[in-house]
Amino acid sequence: MVLSNEFISMSHPQSERVNSCFGSLLGSFALVRSLGAIAVLTVLIGLTHSARAQTLSELLMEYNNGCDRGMVADCTYLGELHDDRRNDPAESARYYRVGCDGGHALGCAKLGQLYSQGRGVARDIMEAARFYRIGCDGGTAFACTSLAVWYANGDGVGQNDSEAAYLFGLGCDGGSATGCLNLGTLYAHGRGVAPDDGEAVRLFRLGCEGDVAAACTQLGGMYQNGRGVEQNDREAVGYFRQACDAGESGGCSGLGYHYHFGLGVEMDKHEAVRLFIVACDGGQDARCESVRTLINVGIGVRGNEQHIVRFRRSDCEAGNRTSCYNLAIWYYHGDWIPQDYIEAARFFEQACNRGQMSGCYNLGTMHASGRGVEQSYYNAAQLYQTSCNDGHRGSCTALGRLFFNGSGVPQSDSEAERYYRAACDSYPGDGCARLGDLYMWGRGVPMDDIEAVRLYRHACFPGGSDYGCTRWYESYESGQDLTRYDTERVRQFRQSCTQGEGAACGSLGVMYQLGVDLPGDLEEAIRLYGRGCDLDDNSACHSLGVCYEFGTGVAQDESEANRLYRRACELGNEASCERAQ
């Protein structure tokens, strides 16, 4: 457990009952010290020391006269005025030294602080430790706490948990709430002292009552885990809320966890996501991943749209390509933010540059259409080529269409056939349907309507290609040869579906929906799509999503459609990824 020399952030002790999808939240405690908030711990500056003088010039005159008369405390207060009000640490150091040399412990402690920070004097950890020691011996609580952190970390002094515990105890007894917090941390972990959860709870309570928010977080964690106190989620929630309201990200993390699982408070996924975002912004990296996990499957989204947009934006800036891609989608469709094709193209480009091939594909599509960027089939072809080479089948299909039409690349049926086949071999979808067109028309391959129909059917299911289904149904209606798909195939699909093969259930659903080889029956199609989706067949989930989107055989429900599209997308259905919001 290595502690920062300037500001030590508290790890948040979460419950060990956490769901595995978020990883264990039970982290090790860290010791906390804030040298930038000394006034919380002790009365330091002359502004609070004297009620007689009000203006800066009056204070300077008063303390300067006192210091000249040998009142060493006034020398220290004069140093504080130069530090806090005049931003002159060099002059502060001079007056702190006078105060310290005259026996004023606070002056020594403040001089140690300047040496530790390298402000007004050259940074010198050994000198800082020496002056902190003098200040601590003279009863200055924050000096004891600051020096204790160094012993706990081994910064500038030999690492010594026992000495750290002793000094934290002096700081706590002298009124340093942060000293109480850190001593409680040592008791919770048995560092330098015998493990004692009850004593840790007592010290955390003192720290929390002293307005150190991290101590409230730790106290909440003890109640949550039943360490040193009877387990009580309601008490935990109260302390986490107190810490979170004071701006402590660990408290927001703990509070969000309780809202997520409904522990000690009514379950509220939306509030959980909001709090996790706050915790993530505060440096709780595990909570950033929790936010991604939840919003990627649509949990806690409604009502948090603007928080999520802000999260995605900062996450994208930090290098997360999925967040860049989602922002681009939202800008493209105008979801949650005003539609802006230029911004959509910008974020697609960021996603693409970071290896998100769907970002390259969509940016290519924008170049092909001229939306948000200058229209250029050549640029579209380059982007499609990049993502196709990386296995993005939609890009292979799109590149094949450019070769088929001679847009941005030389017209070539054979190249179109090559890229359509690459897409079809990767996954049955639009690539198979477009390859079927080539066989139907004899372009780049020998004309073969039976092979064309086979490819249309393959694209329709299990591929879930709307274009493939349309072309297959058109072929069926026109009386082209479909005799190879007879009742025996229906029997095989039905048997496989009964045995738990999701793709077979989805295929039967398509046949019932289109009335091919089976009587048309939307109700049965919907049932089979549902069974196929439950068996993790992405095409079945996609087909059911389409039904809910357009109200085909079921009541129209965009929310359910989006849920099914997201599920299908997770299972690898590219068409659903493009439809999902």
CA 148 – CA 33 distance, rounded (Å): 10
3-state secondary structure 237-280: HHHHHHHHHCCCHHHHHHHHHHHHHCCCCCCCHHHHHHHHHHHH
Give the amino acid at 515.
Answer: G
pLDDT of residue 19: 27
Average pLDDT in the 238-251 region?
96
- Position 295 scores a pLDDT of 81
Q: Does 330 or 5 have the greater pLDDT score?
A: 330
Whole-angstrom Cα distance, residue 328 to residue 332?
Answer: 6
The rounded percent of the chain whose pLDDT value lies above 70 is 87
What is the b/e burial string over 303-337, where b = at least 16 CB atoms within 10 angstroms of the residue's CB?
A: ebeebbbebbeebbeeebbbbbbbbbbbbbeeebb
Task: Find all residues with CB under 8 Å of 507, minimum gap 6, and list them.
Answer: 461, 462, 493
Phi then psi for residue 119, to 5 deg, are -110, 120
Q: Which distant-in-sequence residues (6+ apart) come within 8 Å of 114 by Cβ?
A: 83, 89, 92, 93, 96, 120, 121
d(CA 405, CA 531): 40
Q: What is the pLDDT of residue 11?
A: 25
Q: How much is the mean pLDDT over the chain?
A: 85
ω into residue 462 within 30 of 0, thus cis?
yes
Which fold, 495-581? 1.25.40
Contact 11/27 with Cβ under 8 angstroms?
yes
Burial 449-471 (b: 16+ CB within 10 A, else e): bebbbbbbbbbbbbbbbbbbbeb
Q: Which element (helix H / strand E) includes 307?
A: helix 305-317
Looking at residue 410, its pLDDT comes to 96
Q: Are 429 and 465 in contact (CB under 8 A)?
A: yes
Grade residue 192 by pLDDT with cuts at 50, 70 and 90: very high
Strand-pairing partners, residue 34, are 7
pLDDT above 80: residue 2: no
List beta partners, residue 13: 26
Q: Per residue in 58-112, pLDDT tens?
A: 888 999 999 999 999 999 999 999 988 888 999 999 999 999 999 999 999 999 9
Nearest 5°: the CA angle 148, 149, 153 is 120
Q: Is 10 left (phi over 0), alpha (psi -120 to 50) or beta?
A: beta
Give the mean model confidence (pLDDT) for residues 526-531.
94
Query: What size, in residues, is the chain?
Result: 581
Tell me, rounded to whole angstroms, the distance of Cα 235 from its chain centroid.
27
Question: Distance (Å, rounded) from C-alpha 436 to C-alpha 453?
Answer: 7
pLDDT of residue 457: 82
CA distance 74 to 136: 19
Residue range 345-373: mean pLDDT, rounded: 95
- Residue 474 burial by CB count (10 A; 0-12/13-18/19+): exposed, middle or buried? exposed
Please check the confidence at residue 127 and state whether its pLDDT lies above 80.
yes
Query: Would you kindly state where each structural domain of the chain is located, as residue ranges?
Result: 495-581
Contact of 399 with 420, CB cutoff 8 Å: no
The 10s digit of each residue's pLDDT in 299-328 is 887 788 888 888 999 999 999 998 999 899
Residue 365 is predicted with a pLDDT of: 95
Average pLDDT over residues 568-581: 74
Task: Give the percent of the chain with pLDDT over 90.
Answer: 60
Global pTM value: 0.62
Per-residue model confidence (pLDDT) at position 296: 76
Of the pLDDT bands very low, low, confident and very high (cuts 50, 70, 90), residue 54 is: low
Could you report the per-residue pLDDT of 6-41, keeping only the tens digit for each?
223 222 222 222 222 222 222 233 344 333 332 223
DSSP 564: H
Q: Residue 102 has what pLDDT? A: 95
Who wins on pLDDT, 142 or 507?
A: 142
> pLDDT of 451-493, one tens digit each?
998 898 888 866 668 788 888 777 766 665 444 445 777 888 8
pLDDT for position 408: 95
Spatial CB neighbours of 441, under 8 Å, sequence gap ≥ 6: 447
DSSP letter at 29? P
Amino acid at 368: A
Which residue, among 406, 436, 408, 405, has the nearest Cα to 420 in the 3D structure?
436
Dist. CA 465–CA 539, nearest whole Å: 9
Residue 123 makes CB contacts below 8 A (sequence gap 6+) with 115, 116, 117
